[in-house]
A and B are shown apart, each in its own frame.
Chain A
């Protein structure tokens, strides 16, 4: 998550030293200060490992600078704005009325940037506290033990016993719609100076929908173009249905089975081939391309060390070791799911391995959260995944429409669903869709990681009145005796 700037794959050839800088020798060098890299470095520092971390930008990587954190800030601002807009509509059931609100997007963006800035400073402070040396610049492998960093003041050579590659990922560019002008990536969408009147989002995955919904709430006319036959194709239809419903309510148009062909000549519209093969023109002041992310495997000297690959990614084993001794890789550069918390867990593990502890990847689940409206959480296996291989499963689903707290929050859409083995009731997966369910993810993954059975979840008191009661009720439902449905 701490890769090169997107599209910035310019090659550096720092073969000549412009300045006589003293070489650094250390036990561990981490390339990339995203959530994987900085966690790895902090943990290594805690364990007394002599550690250096390199990144060309402020610590925090994609996640903190142009990903998770700023997008959530924008989504929150959009939610708040929508609320007051709806209240200003004059028919608020809560009885609140106010004058027509307005949003000053540059101020919103500045607020978001302050959050990012505070977190940048925070991470830098944590690294320092752990005794980690930070070097700013582009890193490039010379060989498996040596890295050159192009810093502002010259080439810094760093020799390390162990090196962790944490270069992250970058947005995928479409050949027909290169970034630039009205075509923006997720990074660009987080720094717009005004709300576009029309926005076309290419790619109905979670990044496109999170930002598309936010801009729709901020007042843009949003159209989502998805090549597959439904949005969020990685989640099952039951989970995405409330999101589809909400998109309709927000006036977001969704074109599924459609292909983006390019910009119109006037560059104010997107040309699309629809599902039935017709050409369509969608008005689009901005075109947001979110068709996926690719690992950053160029620009840092992968060729020089020639690591084995796993498709586009770097191949790793259960200890995040690459094909070269002493070289580890973590995070998005190692494959799906490209999630910050996976990278963090890998980083922590690698730091402990480098410090001489016995560790290997043994997680039962990596939860995934989709900050759409409503939110989607998935931990472990879905019912279909659990049934693969002929296993008998029990599924319990509890709707928020039967949950008192959800009613008081005007958030009755969605449900909690629990999937367990039929023979021993071991919980295999828990999913939810609904307002604010991202915060339930902790309970979901804890239950799975601890090896809970349905009876364990059903037998745990869940505080009333909360949406979390839905989890207990789902477990009771799977056991055949839900109380509130």
Chain B
């Protein structure tokens, strides 16, 4: 039988393995050329694996969450239109077309003359149809569940006496169970699924006690985030320092630049200003633009300023990196940050886009709150958190005046950064941002 085996391709420089994060197909699915089969993830880049051939999926080589080595077979596809057996090793990644001809030739005598005749190994095919892959016990929780109220209020649940008896014995109120059968009939499978899932699909109206726990497997990016956060918080004693910044002048400048903006210039947010301010500040305090290899006991102070920008994506938190911010002007920083944010969101960010930062900025924009306690992007030693800008009354010595105020919540690795140094750094940022001209003055 002609099969095409798809192996995990080399998905990134120096990557030896990747985590399978999603299957887009299942066994038995027909696929076209370029149908996306799966998504795998390396570091923070997710790569989709397309099908090079047309056919039917026969075998999947990994489960979601599994780490797969580059070069291992992950999918076998029976090539469309060909049903003849082949002596070739199914693992052999041969050309799709060749086995068809070979197979036809070698088995020609046994084959009924017209190729339109169904498979010469019908028993195998039938077997596959009759015995769908047995669902694992856990699979029942992933079963699609009819949403909403199982049936209109007051309507009796529809179920055979045997189902009703089992429900009674299991203590299940069938009024709460959605039925997938005709006319909403509750069958044994529905009851099994309900029991496995717990009674969470209760009628939404009215107050009802809920029991049961939903298990969500932490895989892919979420698992990486979890590991990274746990590492950062368990290894690094954080000190968080919050200072308020008067960004009235900065906002005026920003608005002015955006208003005068030429077509080829990116729209400015507060981030490129902060990036440039950080470049200025770390020039005076190189200890802040560093990574700490605590196992070796070495702090690496970096000459380039590669600024990570924490970004929310549909998949979760990602930190694309603006490389060499020290060599980029305001607009260059802005356009590179915008490009990376888009790339992170649409999944096209490369591994290079997502690694190598030396200091990180985190911002939730309008959701930024008043204060945050940012978690350092290990193994860096500093992270600067941007809170939201608020118009606040400020006493100028004679009266209250409305000023645009913004807090910076910044965390530092207290093992290598003293509170004093942290405060000096943030005060330097404050000075630069409150008098934005200083950011641009050559010294």
Contact = CB atoms under 8 A, between A and B. Distances in A.
B183 interface: yes
Interface stretch (A67-75, A114-122, A322-330, A357-365): A357-365
Interface in A440-454: 449-451, 453
Nearest to A425: B183
A358 B169 contact: yes
A425 B182 CA distance: 9
Given A364-B156, A426-B158, A453 B183 contact: yes
A140 interface: no
A84 B158 CA distance: 49
A449 B162 CA distance: 10
B184 A424 contact: yes
Nearest to B185: A451
B238 interface: no
B171 interface: yes
Interface string A327-367: 00000000000000000000000000000011110101000
Interface string A71-85: 000000000000000
Interface in A360-393: 360, 362, 364
Contact of B160 (A359, A421, A449): A449
Contacts, number: 33
A113 interface: no
Interface in B147-163: 156, 158-161
A298 interface: no
Contact of B183 (A359, A426, A449): A426
* Interface of A: prevailing SS: loop
Contacts of A362: 161, 164, 168
Given A357-B169, A358-B168, A360-B168, A455 B182 contact: yes
Most chain A CB atoms below 10 A, which of B158, B171, B183, B184: B183
A425 B160 CA distance: 16
A449 B158 CA distance: 9
Interface in A407-449: 421, 424-426, 449
**Interface size of A as a range:** 10 to 19
Given A364-B156, A426-B158, A451 B168 contact: no
Interface string B93-115: 00000000000000000000000
Interface in A230-245: none
A449 B110 CA distance: 53
A421 B169 CA distance: 30
Interface residues of B, number: 14
Nearest to B181: A451
Contacts of A360: 168
Interface in B164-191: 164, 168-169, 171, 181-185
A451 B161 CA distance: 9
B183 A424 contact: yes
B190 to A, nearest CB: 12
Given A453-B182, A455-B182, A359 B168 contact: yes
B161 A449 contact: yes
Contacts of B160: 449-451
Contacts of B171: 358
A421 B158 CA distance: 13
A172 B164 CA distance: 38
Interface string B178-219: 000111110000000000000000000000000000000000
A453 B179 CA distance: 14
A47 to B, nearest CB: 14
Given A424-B182, A424-B183, A451 B158 contact: yes
A109 B160 CA distance: 42
Contacts of B183: 421, 424-426, 451, 453
Nearest to B160: A450
A424 B183 CA distance: 5
A396 B77 CA distance: 51
Contact of B159 (A358, A426, A451, A455): A451
A324 B182 CA distance: 42
A456 B164 CA distance: 20
A48 B184 CA distance: 38
Contacts of A449: 160-161
Nearest to B158: A451
Contacts of A425: 182-183
A360 B167 CA distance: 11
Contacts of A357: 168-169
Nearest to A357: B169
Contacts of B168: 357-360, 362
A426 B168 CA distance: 23
Nearest to A426: B183
A418 to B, nearest CB: 15
A59 B393 CA distance: 94
Contacts of A451: 158-160, 181, 183, 185
Contacts of A359: 168
Contacts of B184: 424
A187 B174 CA distance: 44
Contacts of B181: 451
A426 B181 CA distance: 11
Nearest to A455: B182
Contacts of B158: 426, 451
Nearest to B161: A449
A56 to B, nearest CB: 35
Contacts of A364: 156
A455 B185 CA distance: 14
Contacts of B164: 362
11 contacts: A358-B169, A362-B161, A364-B156, A424-B182, A424-B183, A425-B183, A450-B161, A451-B158, A451-B183, A453-B182, A456-B182
Given A362-B164, A449-B160, 15 more contacts: A357-B168, A358-B171, A359-B168, A360-B168, A362-B161, A364-B156, A424-B182, A425-B183, A426-B158, A426-B183, A450-B160, A451-B181, A453-B182, A453-B183, A455-B182
**Closest 3 pairs (CB-CB, A-B):** A424-B183, A451-B158, A426-B183
Interface of B: 156, 158-161, 164, 168-169, 171, 181-185
